[in-house]
Amino acid sequence: MIPEFHQSIYQSFRGVVEQLQMKISQLGQKRDDQENESIDLRPELISLQKIFQEDIRSLNIDALTNTEAHRVRSIWVEIDKQLRLLGMDVAYVRAAKQPETLQQRVEQVKGRLEMLIVYCGALLSEER
């Protein structure tokens, strides 16, 4: 069982993921290049990375059973990987000039955000 304090941090992380999801959905709907450049995904990305590195990685999981601790660490590895890839995808979104390319990049970001939500659900024991 994940301690309540851990749950609040995971929920906070998921909240920022959901904010970024809303923002990327708006970006995917816009067609004007000037409007696309006005939406900057980096603040939410930086916030996600900060929460993960400073809050989640520093959580004490010693109170968990060995099985739970292993499961949590495995999910953390996957979250870390998705965040690194998300950082590259966000840079590609900013660099996209063609509408087709932009749409492809937006879809990649959406997929990564969905994966992060799945991982948050697993950490919150919503899914097993």
Q: Dump the DSSP string for the chain.
A: ---HHHHHHHHHHHHHHHHHHHHHHHHHH---HHHHHH---HHHHHHHHHIIIIIITT---TTS-HHHHHHHHHHHHHHHHHHHHHHHHHHHHHH--SHHHHHHHHHHHHHHHHHHHHHHHHHTTS--
Average predicted confidence (pLDDT) for the chain:
87
What is the reported pLDDT for 57? 94
Read off the pLDDT band of 23 (50, 70, 90).
Answer: confident
Average pLDDT over residues 103-117: 94
Q: What percent of the chain has pLDDT over 70?
A: 88
Cα separation, 91 vs 21, in Å, equals 16
pTM: 0.86
Query: pLDDT tens for residues 40-92?
Result: 888 889 999 999 999 999 999 988 899 999 999 999 999 999 999 999 999 99
Cα separation, 126 vs 22, in Å, equals 22
Read off the pLDDT band of 17 (50, 70, 90).
Answer: very high
Read off the pLDDT band of 11 (50, 70, 90).
Answer: very high
Cα separation, 106 vs 101, in Å, equals 9
Average pLDDT over residues 87-113: 91
CB-CB contact of 86 with 117 (8 Å): no
Read off the pLDDT band of 2 (50, 70, 90).
Answer: confident
Read off the pLDDT band of 107 (50, 70, 90).
Answer: very high
